[in-house]
Amino acid sequence: MSFQELYGTAPEGVWAAPGRVNLIGEYTDFNEGFVMPLALPHTAVAEVSRRTDGIIRLYSADIEGGIVQLHVDELEPLTNTSWAAYPAGVVWALREAGHAVTGADIHLTSTVPTGAGLSSSAALEIVTALALNDLYELGLSAQELAVIAQRAENAFVGVPCGIMDQTASACCTEGHALYLDCRDLTTRQVPFDLAAQGLQLLVVDTRVKHALGDGAYAERREGCEEGARQLGVTHLRDVAFEQLPEALDRLDDEKVRRYVRHIVSDDHRVEQTIALLDAGDIRAIGPVLIAGHASLRDDLRISCEELDLVVETAVAAGAIGARMTGGGFGGSAIVLLEATDAEAVTKAVEEAFAAAGFAAPRVFEATPSAGAHRLA
Ligand code: ADP
Ligand code: MG
């Protein structure tokens, strides 16, 4: 159903916010380190009108069940377990921050695949936040909207995510990856114009989500905190790459040592990637991506058979680089390749999956796209 059919009038405006994929820097965010996401061409789109009576009406064209109606005075954190908690949480977080949002009629639809590690949830939050920011003239910056959206997801929905996803959806620009320092939230647009160099970045969604992943995030997080404690730093971000061998010598727990090695080396890989991209040499980041995958597989141990198979097969078929991306134990991998090799590499991955008895993966191109913006 359209906005007009649902609510009887045309919307006051239309906004879009993208999903994202992380190029390099995994599990570094909660260690106050560096990440480097880019926005996908896939977006959540919101048509929105203001209301003055406190009522919020939410509708997703992608979910059965019709309109969800709430009231701004009755928004309680952690009570709504449906999809509506994401946009409702944004209204709650804005009001908590003192912004007078007095209701809204919202129609949502999204092309961001859900649950594939591509942040369909952040896209939904950021598109809602941007629409309300514009309509209610709140004057918040893109980064401030990201902080509001993260608060919505952490405190209202109840998901302990870092700040990367929301910042990527709000702040990315076309033809760039976004360098984000998760300590002070400094950002910088790093040139990543794949098409200009005859390259493509593919996302391979394995469509699996292994149960092993439940609890693994918290376990890795605790292991990293333990490492920081033993090394006498507030966060692993404070261990310089040059000091890594010495730091590892001081750790006696084998697991903590692996986690520390991953975090400190992945922060370093972000810096290497920036230097190479600033120098205009996208191809040169291939080995950095491959090393990043090995680190996630062997040190952090969050990969799985399907993700390893994507990376091995793609590289063997001629890809320049590849690695799993996101939380791991399933979800998606990225593959950097010559545009002319895209078809052959895709075919090789699909055949390897079929031969292994895995369900067919979903493969699409990740053009570095624009962050959240108004459409109409
Ligand atoms: P990811 O963000 O990696 O896609 P999450 O589990 O964090 O995975 O978020 C997925 C959830 O976001 C869905 O289960 C749903 O509740 C919500 N969501 C995403 N896209 C939509 C949509 N188009 N309509 C309604 N809800 C959506
Ligand atoms: Mg999410």
Q: How far apart are the C-alpha atoms of 366 and 360, rounded to whole Å?
A: 19
The pLDDT value given to residue 52: 98
In this structure, the residues whose C-beta lies within 6 A of any atom of ligand 1 are 60, 62-63, 83, 86, 108, 110, 114-115, 117-121, 124
Q: Domain 3-191+370-374: which topology?
A: Ribosomal Protein S5; domain 2 (3.30.230)
Residue ranges near ligand 2 (ion) with Cβ within 5 Å: 121
Average pLDDT value for the chain: 97
Q: How far apart are the C-alpha atoms of 92 and 76, rounded to whole Å?
A: 8
Dihedrals φ, ψ of 159, to 5°? -105, 120
The pLDDT value given to residue 160: 85
Which residue's C-alpha comes closest to atom 9 of ligand 1? Answer: 121
255 Cα: distance to centroid of ligand 1 (angstroms) = 33
The pLDDT value given to residue 193: 97
Determine the residue type at 294: A
Q: Mind listing the pLDDT tens digit for each residue in 326-365?
A: 999 999 999 999 999 999 999 999 999 999 999 999 999 9
Helices 216-231 + 254-278 axis angle, to 10 = 90
Annotated binding site for Mg(2+): 121, 153
Helices 305-316 + 286-295 axis angle, to 10 = 160
339 Cα: distance to centroid of ligand 1 (angstroms) = 30
Q: How far apart are the C-alpha atoms of 162 and 26, rounded to whole Å?
A: 11
Residue of 67, 86, 114 to test ligand 1 pocket, by largest number of atoms within 8 Å of CB: 114
Is 165 an active-site residue? Answer: yes
The maximal CA–CA distance of the chain, rounded, in angstroms, is 68
Compute the Cα dihedral for 212, 217, 222, 225 and give only its sign.
Answer: positive
Determine the residue type at 223: G
- The catalytic position among 165, 205, 266, 267 is 165
- Minimum-distance ligand 1 atom for the alpha carbon of 114: 4
346 Cα: distance to centroid of ligand 2 (angstroms) = 26
Q: How far apart are the C-alpha atoms of 42 and 22, rounded to whole Å?
A: 14
83 Cα: distance to centroid of ligand 1 (angstroms) = 7
The pLDDT value given to residue 161: 85
Which residue's C-alpha comes closest to atom 7 of ligand 1? Answer: 121
Which residue's C-alpha comes closest to atom 2 of ligand 1? Answer: 119
The pLDDT value given to residue 361: 98
Domain boundaries along the sequence of the chain = 3-191+370-374, 195-365
Which ranges in the chain belong to alpha helices (H)? 3-7, 85-96, 120-135, 142-151, 164-171, 216-231, 244-249, 254-278, 286-295, 305-316, 342-356
Regions in the chain scoring below 70 on pLDDT? none
User: For residue 85, what are the contacts with CB-CB under 8 A and spacing of at least 6?
Assistant: 156, 157
Which residue's C-alpha comes closest to atom 16 of ligand 1? Answer: 83
- CB of 287 within 8 A of CB of 261? no
253 Cα: distance to centroid of ligand 2 (angstroms) = 32
Q: Which CATH superfamily is domain 195-365 in?
A: GHMP kinase, C-terminal domain (3.30.70.890)
Helices 120-135 + 164-171 axis angle, to 10 = 50
Q: How far apart are the C-alpha atoms of 108 and 44, rounded to whole Å?
A: 7
Which residues, in sequence order, are bridge partners of residue 56? 70, 104
The pLDDT value given to residue 214: 77
Residue of 20, 22, 45, 83 to test ligand 1 pocket, by largest number of atoms within 8 Å of CB: 83
Ordered strands of the 330-338 beta sheet: 321-325, 330-338, 199-209, 362-365
- Minimum-distance ligand 1 atom for the alpha carbon of 165: 2
Q: Which of 188, 166, 192 is nearest to 178 (CA)?
A: 188
**Whole-angstrom distance between the N-terminal and C-terminal Cα of the chain?**
19
The pLDDT value given to residue 181: 97
